[in-house]
Amino acid sequence: MKRHIIPILAFCLLSGSLSYAQSSVDALAKARTAVENAKAEAAPDARQIVYTLKAFNDPDGRLVVGGLTSEASAKEAAVKALEAAGVEYIDSIMVLPSDRWAMTRISAASHRGAGRHAAEMLTQSVMGTPLRVLESNGEWWWVQTPDGYIAYVPSTSVVPKTSEEMAAWRSAKRFIVTSPYQIRAYTSPTSNGVRDVVTDLVNGCIVTAVGGAPKVENGRLHIELPDGRTGYADASALTPLEEWAAQPFDADKILDTAYSMEGTPYLWGGMSTKALDCSGLAKVSYYANGIILMRDASQQALTGKRIEASDWRTCQPGDLLFFGNAKTKKITHVAIYDHNGNYVHSSGRVKRNSVDPDSPSYLTTPFLHAVRINGMEETPGIIRARNHPWYF
């Protein structure tokens, strides 16, 4: 009988090992499914939420869930999903900071898909735009814009701000450039020379009044830029931020802003009156009316009140028209509707065309659907600046 003890014991040990290994594999599979389910629920758009959570076994065979997310709510969703899956794990999830700030210090800063100048330009921010800083290492800072878009910006294009400085800025006497055309800030109330320029300013740039109270000399307002530089800019081109933010919906303001850029060159990722892409035109034009839209056309297309392409005659001025692939329904272009089928858009340059097949200005790019922004403010993807906590 003794000769059978060792084989039987070995079989028992092997069976236990196999059972443990299978249990470990099952737990890892459940954890990975839970993490992916949480991503689909809480972080479906990588353009707006960082979510690199992964489940894995460490060298000691322990189940670990680690990675980065920009939102505490995304981690909470992952933890909830893991608990529902009934797995035990080591929590190595890092939530990026939500209390670190910066502000754009130049008239139009380029934000790229990676921390290098050769990377694709994804978007831009204009001077005075508040930015959430996710990481600030070296030459490139990883930031999030007020519309939620995440990208890399050169450190030279921004200035860091503490939470206290941001709070002071929100209560300061601020002005926004409402001129549709580029202006200049000069070194004095009367200087006009090319060597007297402090900076250029474009529509949407935000500055503050020097000394806390507006002071106008020779028709120029004494202003302070986000990085502390001061200058004098045409007071008629600036509007108190509270007044700008209090605007009601105004389709004419939106369309006038768009038409003022007619002929302006198309620029992939561009989002200022200097040069812009199709969704940039929609954003800049709506921002002139105090409304913050999503960044990309594919994101904008999921907001507002949907209008089917066949019902285009019911469209109203300011509605957004979306174009793309007729088979896949992938959105590739957006325009701003005016009237009688006419619209303004950025394609090669800012120009006018028509959605009416009988119009000589008709373009054959498939028109997929439209959305109405008017009356849909404060629904997902559409927010007035006056209600955005980064501004007020």
Residues acting as catalytic residues:
278, 333, 345
Element at 369 (helix H, strand E)? strand 367-372
Alpha helices in 261-389 (DSSP H): 278-287, 297-300
Structure tokens that stand for 346 in this block: 């950025």
The answer for 131, left when phi > 0, alpha when psi is -120 to 50, beta otherwise, is: beta
SS3 string of 23-78? HHHHHHHHHHHHHHHHHHHHCCCCCCCCECCEEEECCCCCEEEEEEECCHHHHHHH
Report in angstroms the alpha-carbon separations of 37 from 23, 52, 100, 262, 291: 21, 13, 29, 45, 32
Q: Which residue type does 118 have?
A: A
Q: What CA–CA distance (Å, rounded) separates 334 from 314? A: 18
